[in-house]
């Protein structure tokens, strides 16, 4: 019996037997995904990943591209080197690792990645979803800020149909009229996904808020709403982070957060 049961408004109800494999206990690595926005250097990422492992991270994240919204293309390049630094750092710390695929060509050098990430800007880039699915690895799909739940499940289906061995949906904030935070973090979507689809769900409070002051609260709210894990941008020296400095939290606050989230999990009865 398929495990995606969400009653979608438009189009046929998703029906993928492979979704049966979506069991959170099979993927404890999703629980505390942590790392910098960008892989800033080899030594940098090796030191950081060792420290993150010590304080409870279960998977290392890091952006190998450094494309920002502005200026266009300002820091791009070195993605092959950065991904090999990320891989080395993860192996040294004994952590699995994840990074974003922006182009199908990236797949040629990301064969060592444990999970592949689809960034929100590409969440409906169907040829890319298919190419990434064909690699048959687990995929973390970041919901586009404009995408409804139906549209998000459509993207999940592209990945599963192409062969992705697993898909986790990442709530990372959506566009709304509100502008006090960078995006509006939807814990309702997390709860709905868990209640009605059985998919793995991860909350990203870093991009969801853009503000390190509220990242811990949003992370706790994601876990309280039932997410299987959180993805948090952590930096040894947040103000000097090469990108997304405003939302990076310190290693110390990440450590504290891990303890709090574990308590919330117990309260949830997990």
Residues that bind ligand PEP (CB under 6 A): 37, 63, 100, 119-121, 142, 172, 207
Q: Tell me how far apart the alpha carbons of residues 230 and 228 are, in angstroms, rounded to a whole number.
A: 7
CB 21 within 8 A of CB 1: no
Residue placing its CB nearer to Mn ion in the complex, 37 or 155: 37
59: left (phi over 0), alpha (psi -120 to 50) or beta: beta
The nearer residue to Mn ion, 129 or 242, going by C-beta atoms, is: 242
| CB 260, min distance to ligand PEP, A | 22
CB of 161 to ligand PEP, least distance (A): 22
| Of 75 and 268, CB closest to ligand PEP | 75
* Residue 128 CB partners (closer than 8 Å, separation 6+): 101, 103, 104, 118, 122
If the CB atoms of residues 38 and 199 are measured against ligand PEP, the closer one turns out to be: 38
Which residue number is nearest to ligand PEP in terms of Cβ?
Answer: 119
Residue 172 contact partner, candidates Mn ion, ligand PEP, none, CB within 5 to 8 A by sort of partner: ligand PEP
Spatial contact of 100 and 65, defined as CB atoms under 8 Å apart:
yes
What CA–CA distances, in Å, run from 146 to 132, 142, 183, 217?
21, 11, 11, 23
Minimum CB distance to ligand PEP smaller for 93 or for 101: 101
Query: What are the structure tokens assigned to 175, written together?
Result: 């566009």
> Do 248 and 234 form a contact (C-beta atoms < 8 A)?
yes
According to the binding rule CB under 5 A, does residue 37 interact with Mn ion? yes
From the CB of 91, what's the least distance to ligand PEP, in Å?
21
Closest approach, Cβ 203 to ligand PEP, in A, equals 11
Cα gap 165→248, rounded to integer Å: 31
* Binding residues for Mn ion restricted to 214-253, rule: CB under 5 A: 244
Give contact residues for Mn ion (rule: CB under 5 A).
37, 244
């Amino acid at each position: 019996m398929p495990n995606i049961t969400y009653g979608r408004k438009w189009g046929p109800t998703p029906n993928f037997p492979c979704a049966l494999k979506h069991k959170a206990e099979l993927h404890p690595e999703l629980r505390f995904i942590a790392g910098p926005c960008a892989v800033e250097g080899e030594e940098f990422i090796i030191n950081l990943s060792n420290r993150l492992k010590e304080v409870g991270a279960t998977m290392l994240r890091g952006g190998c591209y450094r494309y920002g919204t502005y200026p266009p293309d300002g820091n791009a390049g070195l993605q092959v080197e950065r991904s090999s630094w990320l891989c080395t750092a993860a192996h040294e710390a004994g952590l699995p690792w994840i990074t974003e695929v922006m182009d199908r060509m990236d797949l040629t050098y990301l064969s060592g990645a444990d999970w592949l990430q689809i960034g929100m800007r590409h969440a409906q880039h169907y040829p890319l979803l298919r190419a990434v699915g064909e690699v048959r690895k687990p995929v973390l799909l970041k919901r586009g800020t404009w995408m409804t739940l139906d549209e998000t499940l459509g993207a999940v289906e592209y990945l599963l149909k192409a062969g992705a061995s697993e898909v986790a949906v990442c709530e990372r904030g959506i566009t709304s009229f509100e502008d006090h935070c960078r995006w509006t973090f939807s814990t309702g979507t997390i709860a709905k996904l868990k209640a009605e689809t059985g998919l793995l769900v991860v909350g990203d409070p870093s991009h969801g808020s853009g503000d390190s002051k509220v990242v811990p609260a949003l992370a706790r709210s994601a876990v309280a709403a039932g997410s299987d894990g959180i993805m948090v941008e952590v930096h040894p020296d947040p103000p000097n982070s090469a990108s997304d400095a405003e939302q990076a939290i310190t290693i110390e606050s990440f450590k504290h957060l891990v303890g709090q989230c574990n308590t919330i999990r117990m309260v949830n009865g997990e």
